[in-house]
Chains A and B, each alone.
Chain A
Amino acid sequence: MTDSRLLTMKRRDVFLTAAAAAASATALNMQSAEAKEVVRTLAVRGHDGVYARLPTLALESKGDFYAGQYVWRAAHLEHAAEERALEILKAKGIDPKSDMSWAEAVALLESDPLIAMTCRARSSQQKLKYQLLQKAYHERADEFLSEMERADKMGPGSLELNPKMFLPEYTTHEIHSMPGGYVGDAFAGHMYHSGTDWGAYVDYNSQDGAHMAMATAAQIPKDGKVRRILDIGTSIGQLATSMKRRFPDAEVWGIDVGGPMVRYAHMKAADMGVAVNFAQRLAEDTKFPANHFDMVVSNLFFHEVSEQGAKNIIKEVGRILRPGGVFSPTDTNTPPQTVKAKYTLWYNYRWNHEDWYADWHSVDFAGEMRASGLKTTNLQNGRDRYSPQVIGVKA
């Protein structure tokens, strides 16, 4: 899809029209003055490319600070901590690339104040940014719930919500310290989008840049036929919409366990005018027929899944891919090479609540893929940060 065809519909612009305001007032059972106020406050800040700007300048500006804080920490504080770790290990006569357990790495480095400060800075930033976002959306919950209720019914694309569905326990954790995790807050999608904008994806998120790069790099089946694509653990749908932009004639689905996540994903995609079908479903029980998809993709998904969950999901992927279909999971799967990297991984596991990091690093991902009927390739480290380390092709 060309850029000119994108952004054909912006929910807040549509919301701004008198007709939409009247319809909204009726649909929401609101008085017209109240509806106008909703329209004014939600419409006032417009869009920045494909990104619906945050509701207030204050929120946007604080977020801008936290993004700067992230950049500074990654570039300067983490570097200083790396240097300090090297000094500590050198003083103890330990090779920085020694093969040791996480516990041994933690015991060596935990008492250094500079290294501890990197953890404090990470943790404080996570806490503050998510508190800020949750407070902002909860304070004006009715406005933002109204916006989502309206978007639920909008096209293009579709939305399926299953609020009564069974949630495996592992899916209900507060992953990376986001309040409520992916399932527990009405505004999980909103918080995730801004939270990743101000953190891990800084500069590559608001315009879906990282996801377009992944979609562009995604390997297609040898026969070139791409009619149906599934993004598992789609989160806010950035990879799914990017795949649709690369393959405009394909039927694209994005599924996620979090109802609020797929709601936001649908709202965002509809906003962009990109027709993706989003559904609240489990990746280990997708409900799709066997041999159905030409491509299954995922991004930053498996490190947030328990070991058993990962095994079940890979088995399901093996079922729903058609022969010759390609499975491309992209994730943070470079094994830690240094003592300091192990320490950082432990920090992320323990205090940033990446609760399934240890599972992710212990599961034999390629082996599970082969056991599920996939031939594996690209077993080395990824070609670049947007490429998967293991690709599976169904025999």
Chain B
Amino acid sequence: MAKSPLKTSRETYAADFVKADYDRAVFTNNPYVDSVITSLMALSANVWLIQRRMMIVEVLLEKNGAVTRDMIEQYQPTREEAAAWRKQRDNFVAEINDPFKEIGDLPYAASIDVPDPSVKKAR
């Protein structure tokens, strides 16, 4: 049985649990490719975070001419902004991810004519 990694002397009401092995799954034919896909997703989440923060800063600057960190943290988009930002998010996600569903299927060498320059073509 596993224990929560949280170190605290306070009552957490957490119990021991059976640890799962989801971290060990390899879905591609190379575990590093799996890691790269996960890393790309994490990186993309961070890029979106910056983009969203910038949109908030722009809105606040337009409205108030100045911003503070608290104003950024507290900002709640209007219904219209939320809809527009969602569309922007979906476009962003698609731009990153679409290549994953548009994979090629021709092996790069086996399917291509490989000319041999040393062999003279018959005239």
Q: How far is the CA of A149 from the CA of B23 in the complex (A)?
A: 33
Which residues between 252 and 301 of chain A lie within 8 Å of chain B, taking CB atoms?
A: 259-260, 263, 280
Number of residue pairs across A and B with beta carbons under 8 Å? 176
Which residues between 156 and 185 of chain A lie within 8 Å of chain B, taking CB atoms?
A: 161, 163, 167, 169, 172-174, 177, 180-181, 183-185
B15 touches A259 (CB 8 A): yes
A121 touches B6 (CB 8 A): no
Which chain B positions have C-beta within 8 A of A44?
Answer: 70, 73-74
Q: Closest residue to A173 on the B side, CB-wise?
A: B18
Binds A, one of B59-67, B85-93, B108-116: B85-93
Q: Which of B15, B46, B73, B94 contacts A167 (CB 8 A)?
A: B15
B41 touches A172 (CB 8 A): no
A260 touches B100 (CB 8 A): no
Instruction: Tell whether B118 is near chain A: CB-to-CB under 8 Å.
Output: no
Q: How far is the CA of A185 from the CA of B12 in the complex (A)?
A: 8
A184 touches B4 (CB 8 A): yes
Q: How far is the CA of A121 from the CA of B36 in the complex (A)?
A: 11
Q: Closest residue to B89 on the A side, CB-wise?
A: A68
A229 smallest CB distance to B (angstroms): 25
Binds B, one of A72-80, A235-243, A325-333, A369-377: A72-80
B56 touches A169 (CB 8 A): no
Interface residues on B, range: 35 or more
Which residues between 48 and 82 of chain A lie within 8 Å of chain B, taking CB atoms?
A: 48, 53, 56-58, 61-62, 64-66, 68-69, 71-73, 76-77, 80
Q: How many residues of A are in contact with the other chain, CB < 8 A?
A: 63
Q: How far is the CA of A355 from the CA of B22 in the complex (A)?
A: 12
Instruction: Tell whether A247 is near chain B: CB-to-CB under 8 Å.
Output: no
Report whether over half of chain A's contact residues are helix, strand or loop; otherwise say mixed.
Answer: helix
Instruction: Tell whether A24 is near chain B: CB-to-CB under 8 Å.
Output: no
Q: How far is the CA of A138 from the CA of B7 in the complex (A)?
A: 9
Q: Which of A65, A76, A124, A280 contacts B38 (CB 8 A)?
A: A124
Residues of B within 8 A of A (CB): 1-6, 8, 10-20, 22-23, 25, 27-29, 34, 37-38, 41-42, 44-46, 48-49, 52-53, 56, 70, 72-76, 86, 89-90, 92-94, 97-98, 100-101, 103
17 pairs of residues in contact across A and B, judged by CB atoms under 8 Å: A45-B73, A56-B73, A72-B93, A114-B101, A120-B37, A123-B22, A123-B27, A127-B23, A128-B41, A138-B5, A141-B8, A145-B8, A172-B15, A174-B19, A174-B22, A184-B4, A351-B25
